Amino acid sequence: MASDGKWRVTASRYIHKDRWIALRADDCLTDDGVPVAPYYVLEYPDWVEVVALDTEDNVLLVRQYRHAMGGFTIELPAGGMDPGDTDPCVTGARELLEETGCVGVLSYVGEARPNAGTHTNRVHTLLARDVVRAADPKDDPAERIEHFWVPAAEAVRMALAGEMVVAMHVGSLLRGLTQAGVATVAVR
């Protein structure tokens, strides 16, 4: 019988589970029969990240406090998909409006895995074109978000210079700008 290389789960239990995260401990056997136990898996909801561009290809960014790192980050408008959310573009439109008060025409760029070694969720990258302000951002005392516009070239510079420190946002920014034709990637 041909081997598929996958591990087999022999037991699984939840260590912690709430509305934000679940920590699962799996007892596994590798394809070669080597036990790996426990193997910890983090279950998060899927996330969306929006590369929002106005008509002049300026990028909408947000600055907010991130408690885990004890400081502020510069990111894309983003958020988690709620239970029952099935369309990343609908979720992205909601998050864009809530965080920045802006709306635009959204399209799906693609998905990636934040950390395939330990996380079950996906991050969906979305592109929003012709973005304009439509309302005041939602007032959420747990999320004090400042939003601002920068030219696309400046956003790329910030990402490459390490001024954007959240890896998923850097990847989504470069992927979204490339799909929009605003940035190019040279392969050597």
Closest among 163, 165, 131, 161 to 149, alpha carbons compared: 131
- For 152-176, the pLDDT digits (tens) are 999 999 999 999 999 999 999 999 9
How many angstroms from the chain centroid is the CA of residue 62? 14
Helix, strand or coil, per DSSP, at residue 170: helix
pLDDT of residue 88: 98
Q: Please, are residues 62 and 75 in contact by the beta-carbon 8 Å criterion?
A: yes
Domain ranges of the chain: 8-43, 47-180
Which pair of tokens denotes residue 150? Answer: 């920068």
pLDDT at site 185: 73
* pLDDT at position 188: 72
Indicate the fold that domain 47-180 takes in CATH.
Nucleoside Triphosphate Pyrophosphohydrolase (3.90.79)
How would you list the strands of the sheet with 22-29, edge to edge? 8-17, 22-29, 35-43
Which pLDDT value is given to residue 1? 42
- Regions of the chain where pLDDT drops below 50: 1
What is the model's pTM?
A: 0.92
Strand 102-112 versus strand 35-43 pairing type: unpaired
